[in-house]
Amino acid sequence: MKIRSVFFAMVCALALCALPTTLFGQEKKEAPPAPSPAEMEAMMKLYEKYATPGPQHKEFEQMVGHWEAVTQTWMPPGQPPMVTKGSSDFHLILGGRYLVQEFKGEFMGKPFAGFGITGYDNFKKQFTNTWVDTLSTVPLNTIGTADATGKVVTYVGKWDDPVTNEKDKPAKMILKTVDANKQIFEYYDTIPNVGEVKIMEITYTRKK
């Protein structure tokens, strides 16, 4: 009996699908007209404009190469930092549109590796960064804004902390360009009842 009921319901559903949509007061919408050749050309020029690397992408070139890294980690904050050494290689991809970073070092006495892609969104006029590493299975996506000098870029985003079970926790990173051979990266965490504190600083020095 149950099988017959299910079969009957399926037949009814198919019959309803076969009825003209006008019976339900819904008329089939006509497809929008195709753009003219002039409109197509204008759209392509607009896409090309936002896809063309600009001065912000040009700045990525100064990071290309091999860098030595010294990392200071404050765990817990306020105590003497844990100091480790590592290295980082930077190279450009997709015609200079993105800067790729490959980091190798150690954390808490174990090997650590990270991979990041930095870009600049010509449309939204902001930097973008996606970071993945061996300490997590979730990418950290942030957006960045440069100061008036262009030498300090502050990135913000959100992440989930499995240790504290916090969801959408604020993430803040600051990248400072000291000169052509030195960069300083800072990472800030937000701790309940404490506020925002710096928990990591990495000093990059270009290997000569």
- How many residues belong to the chain? 208
Q: Where are the domains of the chain?
A: 55-206
Please determine, for residue 2, whether its predicted confidence score (pLDDT) is greater than 50: no
List pLDDT tens digits, range 104-118: 999 888 999 999 999
CATH fold of the domain at 55-206: Lipocalin (2.40.128)
Q: Per-residue b/e over 54-84, b at no fewer than 16 CB within 10 Å?
A: eebbebbeebeeebebebbebeeeeeeeeeb
Identify which has the larger pLDDT, 19 or 28: 28
pLDDT at residue 39 in the model:
84
34-42: average pLDDT: 85
pLDDT tens digit string along 132-186?
999 999 999 999 999 999 999 999 999 988 888 889 999 999 999 999 999 999 9
pLDDT given for residue 21 in this prediction: 44
